[in-house]
A and B are shown apart, each in its own frame.
Chain A
Amino acid sequence: MKRNSLTWLVAAAGIAFSLAFFSTYRSWESAYVQTELDVIGGRKAYSIDETLHNDFVVVMAMKAFFESSSRVDPDEFYSFTRGFLEKNPAIQALAWAPRVSHGDRAGFEAKQKEQAPGYRMTERDDGNGMVSRNRGREYYPVTLIEPLAGNENAMGFDMASNPVRRAAILASREKGEMVVTEKVTLVNEAENMSGVLLFVPVYRDPVAREEFLGFVIGAFRVADIVEKSILHYLNTETRESEIRLTDITDPASPEVLYVSSGFWDAPEFYYETNFDLGGRRWAIRIVPTPGFLAEHKSNIAVVGLGAGLMFTLLLFVYLRAMAGQSEEIRRQVVDRTRELSRHKDELDNLINTIKSGIIMIDSNRIIQLFNPSAEKIFQYCPGEVVGKNVNLLMPEPFHSNHDDYVTNYVRTGESKIIGIGREVRGRRKDGTEFPMFLAISEMKIENTRYFVGSVSDISHQKETEERLRFARDTAEKANTIKSDFMNTMSHELRTPLTIILGNIEELVDEDELPDADEIAEIARDCSNAGEMLMLLINDILDLSKIEAGKMDLHKEPVLSSTLIADVAKTASVLANNKGLELRIQGDEVEIEIDAIRIKQTLFNLLSNAVKFTDEGSVSIITRIEGGWFVITVADTGCGMDSDSLKYIFDPFRQVDNSATRKTGGTGLGLAITRKLVELHHGNIRVESVVGEGSAFTMKLPL
């Protein structure tokens, strides 16, 4: 709106200025035109005045001529006037009209007839003809007139017969001075040709103005006077002015004496002057021709005005357009600003809500931006790290090397991470480290270099990866173990089979049978091998049943003493065979177990103990410890080294195969034992010292 009013103000100022220019230039120009016109008009008026004066001088000269001559005859008059008439063409006629009283009329007329037989005193009739003068008190008939040709009608015409002439005559007689008539129609002229007459009284004694004789009369056609006096102006190629001559003796009824053909009532510029002559006042008015105006009045004012207005209009339109444009620009700015603001809001929201940590630093490594997710990842409070060196987020050695690294990158462009992204270590506020994925991009804002890092805490990912790797390794290991197990099983099954098949071969050929003792021994060997196979197969089945989760326990309450006594009964036979002592001691408690399976495990432990013990004793010790029923089977045997202990509960892992073979063990006993204890939600462990003995401790929940 403000701009709009400014536009209008400029427009108003432009118009005002244009008008002021127009007006000033106009008035200056008018003054110039008027001055020019004044010069021209003055010159013309002077010229007319001079012409009149010259012409009147002729009449005055004639007056003097008549004063000095007692009598003037036509010849003298002719020769006197001829030269003047030739030089002064504006003089229509020169005449002499003596005063004739009515008493002298007859004598006068008679006397004139002597010189000119047709002479008579006349006056104008109602038409345009001449008739004999009626009776009057005195008469002023024309007796001499030059040129005569063309003025024949004037000869004898009584000047006093006409009211206009008579008025002039009376005025002249009264003042004794020359008098100019008002406009008359000359006797020989058509109606429309204006003329004036000059009456100059002639006295016998001009000084005293006594003995009045008559009048010398000059007849002038006004047009001739004017046109003659301004002849050279009229002849110029460009007519500068038009002229009007008016008799304003009676201001109430001015009488136009002459008007030039192109005269117009130019209201703006005119030159007017008056001059008095012979008792009359004439006004001369000179107006410029349109041509003169066109020449002297440039259209600069109009052009200037037009140009000014046009300029103003253009300026106005331009300003309007500018205003419109600026309105458009303003609108666009508002729109763009709103849009930018919206973009900024979006960006802020994005940065504030994105799960990745966003960190922006400048090339001096100073943190410029640190979004909420970054704060969460590094466990800083809002605003705590902005303005600090970014290396506080890094553990050593990155913490110390980072400044050099960035400087080097800025100098050489050699990138270790920018534009690449990789796994690095981060340091939280409390100093703990964590794995993170860091992608860094570079950007420039107004020629300032910034680095933007996107950070994800990948601790969980790493843990998951670790778990998966562990699971995979475990699975692979399990697979290997299974494969090894199958190999070992194959080996263990082939061994008794080798004994059986190899021996049976000896009995195939009927003709070459060995002797009876030999056959019996072969049968015994085969039988032992077959039993071994049977044991193996049963153990394998047990183990796979447990591993497949298909081993069902039949739990029942059992007194610990009963359990131990049952096992000890069988084991004591083995011990006694080797000359070993079997010791039993412990607490009495009732436990809920699958008695058959637990007895199986205990027998396995006891038979192993006996197997690997050559002298000393085997002990079964029971006790209650916390919520557990604890059974320990200890021996004073060869013991095992720590390497062997690691695998003691794995299938087919035996310290000494030969011992197993001797005692018919399958190598699966301890594996099965552990599985069965675990099925009871218990556990089993072993302690051993090489050469001193081993102790297996089984814990079962009460």
Chain B
Amino acid sequence: MKILMVDDNDDIRKMLKRKFKKTGWEILEAVNGKEGVDMAFEHTPDLVLMDMHMPVMDGHEATTTLRERGYPGTIVALTASVMRSDTDSALNHGCDHFIPKPITKDFLNQIKDILNVE
């Protein structure tokens, strides 16, 4: 499995990397939407974890761009903006799933379910 994390917060990415460490999956990192889009088309990850509030290019724009340009993988919105409007907005822009911050103990299982892997 190949996972691309797009988040401007270093500590968040660090924390997520620790979560995925045991799975042995390949973890890629991008610090904003623009970088995320570039890396997604370069590495074609199975899943993109997309933060929404980011400098340069935010998660909405990045997702829209990915979908427009035919990115086939799964995009999961992972954001601290948890209002109903935020959820709708993320899904409308092309995200497949929505996981609010802070993440729970089940986070890894949620991702595995989404990827349909053990």
* Residue positions of A touching B, CB distance < 8 A: 487, 490-492, 494-495, 497-503, 505-506, 514, 518, 522, 525, 528-529, 656-659, 661
Residue of B15, B55, B101, B105 touching A494 (CB-CB under 8 A): B101
Q: Is B103 an interface residue (CB 8 A)?
A: yes
| Subset of 29 A-B contacts with CB under 8 Å | A490-B80, A490-B83, A491-B81, A492-B80, A494-B80, A494-B82, A494-B101, A494-B102, A495-B12, A498-B80, A498-B101, A498-B103, A501-B103, A502-B12, A502-B15, A502-B18, A502-B102, A502-B103, A503-B15, A505-B105, A506-B19, A525-B15, A528-B11, A656-B55, A657-B8, A657-B55, A658-B55, A661-B8, A661-B10
Given contacts A498-B80, A502-B16, A502-B18, 9 further A-B contacts (CB under 8 A): A490-B80, A494-B101, A495-B9, A499-B9, A502-B15, A502-B103, A518-B18, A522-B18, A658-B55
- A499 and B55: CB pair below 8 A? no
Question: What is the chain A residue whose CB lies nearest that of B10?
Answer: A661
Contacts of A506 in B (CB 8 A): 18-19
Q: Is B53 an interface residue (CB 8 A)?
A: yes
What 4 pairs between A and B have smallest CB-CB spacing? Answer: A494-B80, A498-B102, A498-B101, A502-B15
- Of the listed residues B8, B16, B18, B31, the one surrounded by the most CB atoms of chain A closer than 10 A to its CB is B18
Q: Is B14 an interface residue (CB 8 A)?
A: yes
- A658 and B12: CB pair below 8 A? no
Q: Mark B88-117, 1 if CB is under 8 A from A, else 0.
A: 000000000000111101010000000000
Residue of A492, A503, A528, A661 touching B18 (CB-CB under 8 A): A503
Question: What is the chain A residue whose CB lies nearest that of B103?
Answer: A502
Q: Is B54 an interface residue (CB 8 A)?
A: yes
Contacts of B55 in A (CB 8 A): 656-659
Contacts of B102 in A (CB 8 A): 494, 497-498, 500-502
- B11 and A499: CB pair below 8 A? yes
- B54 and A498: CB pair below 8 A? no
- Of the listed residues B54, B79, B80, the one surrounded by the most CB atoms of chain A closer than 10 A to its CB is B80
Residue of A491, A518, A661 touching B80 (CB-CB under 8 A): A491
Residue of A487, A498, A505, A518 touching B81 (CB-CB under 8 A): A487
Q: Mark B6-40, 1 if CB is under 8 A from A, else 0.
A: 00111110111011000000000001100000000
Bound together, the chains give a CA A60 to CA B104 distance in angstroms of 192
Q: Mark B34-69, 1 if CB is under 8 A from A, else 0.
A: 000000000000000000011100000000000000
Bound together, the chains give a CA A497 to CA B107 distance in angstroms of 15
Bound together, the chains give a CA A506 to CA B16 distance in angstroms of 11
- B83 and A487: CB pair below 8 A? yes
Bound together, the chains give a CA A658 to CA B83 distance in angstroms of 22
- Of the listed residues A497, A502, A658, A659, the one surrounded by the most CB atoms of chain B closer than 10 A to its CB is A502
B81 CB, nearest partner CB in chain A, Å:
5
- A661 and B82: CB pair below 8 A? no
- A498 and B8: CB pair below 8 A? no
Contacts of A658 in B (CB 8 A): 8, 31-32, 54-55
Contacts of A502 in B (CB 8 A): 12, 15-16, 18-19, 102-103, 107
Question: What is the chain B residue whose CB lies nearest that of A532?
Answer: B11
Contacts of A497 in B (CB 8 A): 101-102
Bound together, the chains give a CA A525 to CA B9 distance in angstroms of 12
Question: What is the chain A residue whose CB lies nearest that of B80?
Answer: A494
- A490 and B12: CB pair below 8 A? no
Contacts of A514 in B (CB 8 A): 18
Bound together, the chains give a CA A658 to CA B80 distance in angstroms of 15
- A498 and B18: CB pair below 8 A? no
Question: What is the chain B residue whose CB lies nearest that of A487?
Answer: B83
Bound together, the chains give a CA A485 to CA B15 distance in angstroms of 27
A638 CB, nearest partner CB in chain B, Å:
12
- Of the listed residues B10, B11, B18, B31, the one surrounded by the most CB atoms of chain A closer than 10 A to its CB is B11
Contacts of B11 in A (CB 8 A): 499, 525, 528-529
- A498 and B15: CB pair below 8 A? yes
B107 CB, nearest partner CB in chain A, Å:
8
Question: What is the chain B residue whose CB lies nearest that of A497?
Answer: B102
Question: What is the chain B residue whose CB lies nearest that of A528?
Answer: B11
Contacts of B81 in A (CB 8 A): 487, 490-491
Contacts of B15 in A (CB 8 A): 498-499, 502-503, 525
Bound together, the chains give a CA A480 to CA B74 distance in angstroms of 34
Bound together, the chains give a CA A514 to CA B14 distance in angstroms of 14
A531 CB, nearest partner CB in chain B, Å:
12
- B14 and A525: CB pair below 8 A? yes
Bound together, the chains give a CA A661 to CA B18 distance in angstroms of 20
- B18 and A490: CB pair below 8 A? no
Contacts of B53 in A (CB 8 A): 491, 657
Contacts of A490 in B (CB 8 A): 80-83
- A495 and B8: CB pair below 8 A? no
Bound together, the chains give a CA A514 to CA B15 distance in angstroms of 13
Contacts of B107 in A (CB 8 A): 502
Contacts of B9 in A (CB 8 A): 495, 499, 661
Contacts of A657 in B (CB 8 A): 8, 53-55
Contacts of B83 in A (CB 8 A): 487, 490
Bound together, the chains give a CA A43 to CA B86 distance in angstroms of 152
Bound together, the chains give a CA A490 to CA B82 distance in angstroms of 8
Bound together, the chains give a CA A497 to CA B83 distance in angstroms of 17
Bound together, the chains give a CA A491 to CA B8 distance in angstroms of 14
Question: What is the chain B residue whose CB lies nearest that of A491?
Answer: B80
Bound together, the chains give a CA A505 to CA B80 distance in angstroms of 18
Question: What is the chain A residue whose CB lies nearest that of B8?
Answer: A658
- Of the listed residues A490, A491, A498, the one surrounded by the most CB atoms of chain B closer than 10 A to its CB is A498
Contacts of B19 in A (CB 8 A): 502, 505-506
Bound together, the chains give a CA A497 to CA B102 distance in angstroms of 6
Bound together, the chains give a CA A529 to CA B12 distance in angstroms of 10
